[in-house]
Amino acid sequence: MPYLFTSESVSEGHPDKVADQISDALLDEFLRQDPASKVACETLVTTGLVVLSGEVKTEAYVDVQKVAREVIKKIGYTKSEYKFDSEACGVISAIHEQSGDINQGVERAKPEEQGAGDQGMMFGYATNETDSYMPLALEISHVLLKELAAIRKEGKEMTYLRPDAKSQVTIRYSDTHVPETIDTIVISTQHDDFAGEAEMLKKINDDVLNILIPRVKAKLSKVANLFTSDIKYHINPTGKFVIGGPHGDTGLTGRKIIVDTYGGKGAHGGGAFSGKDSSKVDRSAAYAARHIAKNLVAAGVADQVLVQVAYAIGVADPVGLYVTTYNSTKVKGANGEVMSDGEISEKVASLFDMRPYGIVTRFGLQNPIFAETAAYGHMGRTPEKKTVKVKQNGNWTEKEVETFTWEKLDYVDKIKAAFGL
């Protein structure tokens, strides 16, 4: 029997995402000057106020107030009527030095023996239902808000838009887990107070259907057929949405962990990403697990894969590595039968170095590449090379770095060889 599955996303102007972006911008600035920085930054945003806290061990000096204001300005909180704007908001810093007790468990004389920054389990997931190997409901949810933000920043249409917004998409799947159609789309967007409420809501509804949705369909041309006339739309279903952003709801780093990952598909170990350097396996090992899952699916091992890895604080090697294919395995073992998840796990463990040092070096995670991960998902993005300014030997210079390296399909050939594909 067909079933429904739903995922949501939030815009870069959502208060929790504002907090995430500030935390990751701070991380980047510390790494820009000192790649060995150990950072765990938390941000709170509310009416007219930003509070920065956390622990840092670094040789860098960062003007944290300036960084926070630049992020807020880039997002679009630049008007006093928002009750939270880049120029007028207060910025308080309570950042202090990282605990030596934690640091002694992480740093080693030999870098490859670096211990995990904390205990815990991390998950990575991939599915072949989209080109990005991401769940379809989440991918559409992200694209809806990316396009809404693009429209707002272009300033030519829907000029009443404000930065805060949320989306939600429900997909109907067949018995065989194939997406059949989009059942429901929910869009809630903050806006100016520009007319009577009924007139205002009609205008927003019409513009979403006639401006936003066509742009989204163009971006998602391979699944455009799923946008049928039968979709149920709920656009600003509570009515007026003028008060929003940090003025409407306090934002905190790390509260959108499902938006950051797989929209509820697969599993989540509970650890947030933003504001944490790569010694924190909550972040780095989750990226590595996604990399494994994506390459396994791309290589044809299974239609969908979930990878779990677990660590003990201060210990380099994982305490466990688990893979499940949800009975979608396409490869056979030595006995000619479908390969078990246990056999797949053993092969994966031999192919991928999951020690923190191995993960950090494999993906270049000591580079300032994290700010752009903090909105619209850490997974399913496109790796890109770019030039950034970094400080080396006391002097500023340019360096080429690559973003979203954990999304690369660079292990497909190795996996095919290992699995006889």
Instruction: Give, for all 421 residues of the chain, the pLDDT tens digit.
Output: 899 999 999 999 999 999 999 999 999 999 999 999 999 999 999 999 999 999 999 999 999 999 999 999 999 999 999 999 999 999 999 999 876 555 555 665 567 667 787 889 999 999 999 999 999 999 999 999 999 999 999 999 999 999 999 999 999 999 989 999 999 999 999 999 998 889 999 999 999 999 999 999 999 999 999 999 999 999 999 999 999 999 999 999 999 999 999 999 999 999 999 999 999 999 999 999 999 999 999 999 999 999 999 999 989 999 999 999 999 998 987 777 889 999 999 999 999 999 999 999 999 999 999 999 999 999 999 999 999 999 988 889 999 999 999 999 999 999 999 998 8
Q: Which CATH number belongs to the domain containing residue 224 in this structure?
A: 3.30.300.10
Shared-domain flag, residues 326 and 238: no
pLDDT for position 319: 95
Give CA–CA dist 200/412, Å, rounded. 51
- 79 within some domain: no
**Is position 87 within any domain?**
no
In a domain, 390, yes or no: yes
Q: List, as residue ranges, the binding site for Mg(2+).
A: 16
Burial class (CB in 10 A: 0-12, 13-18, 19+), 259: buried
Residue type present at position 413: D
pTM of the model: 0.95
- Write down the pLDDT at residue 393: 82
Instruction: Note whether 196 and 301 are same-domain residues.
Output: no
Q: Could you tell me if 260 and 23 are in contact, meaning their C-beta atoms sit under 8 angstroms apart?
A: no
Last residue of a domain, one of 243, 267, 289: 243
Partnered with residue 180 across adjacent β-strands are none
Q: Is 321 a domain residue?
A: yes
Residue 52 lies in a domain: no
**Is 301 in the same domain as 399?**
yes
308 and 211 together in one domain: no
**Distance from chain centroid for Cα 71:** 17
Residues 233 and 319 in one domain: no
Q: Same structural domain for residues 235 and 322?
A: no
Pair 228, 184 in one domain: yes
Residue 330 and residue 213 in one domain: no
Question: Is residue 403 domain-shared with residue 321, that is, in the same domain?
Answer: yes
Residue 100 lies in a domain: no
Number of domains composing the chain: 2
Do 293 and 379 have their domain in common? yes
Claim to verify: residue 295 and residue 399 sit in the same structural domain:
yes
Write out the binding residues for K(+): 42
Domain coverage including residue 202: 3-10+136-243
Is 37 a domain residue? no
Question: Do 220 and 338 belong together in one domain?
Answer: no
Dihedral sign for Cα 296, 298, 302, 304, please: positive
- Binding-site members are 14, 16, 42, 55, 98, 164-166, 240-241, 249, 255-256, 272, 276, 280
The residue out of 217, 243, 269 marking a domain boundary is: 243
Q: How far apart are CA 64 and CA 87, in angstroms?
A: 14
Flag whether 264 is in a domain: no
